[in-house]
Structure 1
Amino acid sequence: MPPTYLTKDPVLVPATGHVFVASPGTPKPVLPLDILNLRTLRESVGVAWASIGNTSLENGIAHDSEGDEPEVLGTWQKPALRTTSPAKIYTLTLALADFNVETYKLYYGGGGVAADGSFIIPSVPSATTKAMLIVAVDGDRHVVEYYERVSLIGAEGVTYDPAALSEMPVKATILGGTSGLGEISPVMWGAAVEITPPTLTSVNPATAAPGATIQLIGTNLDAPLTVWFGVYEGTGAVTTPTGTQVTVTVPTPIESGDLPVDLRVETNFGETASKPFTIDQS
Structure 2
Amino acid sequence: MKHFVVGAYASQPSDLESQREYYDLLAQTGWVDGLEIPYPGQLHQGVLGEMLEGRFTHSVLTAIPGTMVNVWDDPNFGLASPEVSGRAKALEFTSQLRDALEALHQDHGHIVDWVALHSAPTNRATPEAFQESLETLLEWDWCGARIVIEHCDEQSEEHQAEKGFLLLEEELAVAHAAGVHCSLNWGRSAVGSRGDQRPNEHVAEAAESGLLAGVIFSGASPLATEYGPAWIDGHLPLSSDEPASLMTPEQVAKASELAGEVAYLGAKCCVPQHATLQERLGMIENIYLCCT
Alignment TM-score, normalising by the size of structure 2: 0.18
TM-score normalised over the length of structure 1: 0.19
Name the structure with the higher strand share. 1
